[in-house]
Structure 1
């Protein structure tokens, strides 16, 4: 077969590119263009381009933010809450996904899916207020602990209550990618390892976990991105005592401190992207290891 016969005509290639542009163009414009414009507006505010205080255009707002140790403490608090919430959520989501995969009864499976995902139909505000009532000093959780001779414990207006509520809100988002990757792992791999004499723990550590690790990383990415940007849950369960970057951003918008709010928004986005970049690099390395 000649080279001229093997390669498609130029007009055919051009038409495919046009079709691809027509299909992807509107979506990219709707998603990318507003994001780029919003980032340009934030950059302008952070550089005092609309300054009315006489400070002038420059990096004065950035300098104020970066040289204040309190701001870095808030950034660390936000990352700590998001990191702890992500770790707990993924640790809970993994066995939940494994159990869902093993349910064979159709009605039990439907009930399990409804119990897991129905909270997504309720607003985050309602769920946060619900946890506020459950975890209060006289709430159901402390009353239950008192029956066992424990407590009462301070579970609200601190990071403990914030993490508990965030884990509950984000658990369904972590279960889905883990469950999806688990369905793609052939059961014959586990059966072969058991036939070769491997114990259940060895099978999990050397077969199941490595094959499902990409789903775990994707779950961690989704959970961390949502946790570090959470506003309602830390505000309600924290009671003003747990200050996160998203809460500081909201307060500065209310105080019409546009420059500082823009800097905090950019720092929040950059922090999330940095962690997601690291997780994505780990995810790619796991895919490369699987191909090898």
Structure 2
């Protein structure tokens, strides 16, 4: 009996640990090593550095321009996350309700096939579409609209539009997953009790899908706040975020400042993710 219990414990814990362990080490070791390197560089221990010195931290955190860039990065990520959820939620609802296999294949291909294309190509594609003489402004300027041209590139508008398009699939996927897990019987029971379609959505579908909404928000925010290529291409150097500052300081051989900015970017991203995860645990932990 004891041997069987020990074998069961081995299978339930050690076997999964052995299966997941190699992949976990491959992910964790470079991540931890990079954090150590950034931490060491941020306090002056790098080739040509002055040794232990917190001057770079003090300079960066006391500079109002640095805080402006930090808040710009977070604000852009929040806006992109909001629009990805606003657009992605109805898309996910429509996808899970498709009955035709052919239509499902076409819809999933349209939504997720852009992930197969480089983010550089998609960013330059949006640069052509949104330019003053691009497709969108040409369409708005055609008769009878005769509007524009509007300045849609080299500003935050173009960056937001491109990032929403690029990151939308990352919001749709977790939303589809959580919507597919919802029991159809709950919506049917609500309809039998006389609930309207809107009431069914607001009282049944949406509350049950909130974990997927939070996960989608976490993924999109983490990718948006650390985006580099799209803000660089669509922003034209006028939309600065922390990723761009890190790149520029690496090019200027400012290793300590680049390390500090990279750590601040990580802290900001992890801080927002922890807030979302805490909200998720408090909301659904109390209900369970």
TM-score (norm 1): 0.92
The CA RMSD over aligned residues, in Å, is 1.8
CA shift at 1:20, angstroms? 4.4
Alpha-carbon distance in structure 2 between the residues aligned to 1:21 and 1:100: 35
Check conservation: 1:174, 1:223, Cα contact below 8 A: yes
User: Aligned partners of 2:45 and 2:245: how far apart in 1?
Assistant: 22
SS of the equivalent of 1:50 reads coil
**Kindly tell me: are residues 53 and 47 of structure 1, through their superposed partners in 2, closer, same or farther at Cα, counting changes over 3 Å?**
closer
Question: May I ask how many residue pairs the two structures share in their alignment?
Answer: 286
Instruction: Work out the CA distance in 1 between the residues paired with 2:210 and 2:87.
Output: 15
- Residue 283 of structure 2 is matched in structure 1 by 286
1:51 touches 1:57 (CA, 8 Å); kept in 2?
Answer: no
CA contact (8 A) 1:181 1:212 kept: yes
Q: Name the stretch that deviates more: 8-17 or 133-142.
A: 8-17
- Structure 1 residue 53: Cα displacement: 5.3
Pairwise CA distance, 1:12: 6.5
Whole-angstrom distance in 1 between the partners of 2:254 and 2:45: 13
Q: Is the 8 A contact 1:44 1:50 kept in 2?
A: yes
Q: Which of 13-22 and 106-115 deviates more?
A: 13-22
Correspondence 1:189 to 2:186: yes
Q: Which runs of 5+ in 1 are unaligned?
A: none
Matches within 5 A, 1:62-81: 62-81=57-76
Deviation at 1:16? 6.2
Look up the match of 1:142. Answer: 137
Which residue, out of 70, 84, 88, partners 2:79?
84
- Give the corresponding residue for 2:48: 52
CA distance in 1, matches of 2:134, 2:12: 62
Change (3 A) 1:7 1:285: farther
Whole-Å Cα distance in 2 between the matches of residues 167 and 9 of structure 1? 52
Contact 1:84 1:163 in 2 (8 A): yes
Secondary structure (helix, strand or coil) at the match of 1:188 reads: helix
Query: Secondary structure in 2 aligned to 1:112?
Result: helix
In structure 2, how many angstroms separate the alpha carbons of the residues matched to 1:47 and 1:210?
46
Give the deviation of 1:11 after TM superposition.
7.3
Distance in 1 (alpha carbons) for counterparts of 2:9 and 2:100: 50
Q: Is the 8 A contact 2:57 2:260 kept in 1?
A: yes
1:117 aligns with 2:112: yes
| Cα contact 2:80–2:164 (8 A) shared by 1 | yes
Task: Give the direction of change, closer, same or farther, for the CA distance of 1:11–1:213 in structure 2 (3 Å limit).
Answer: closer
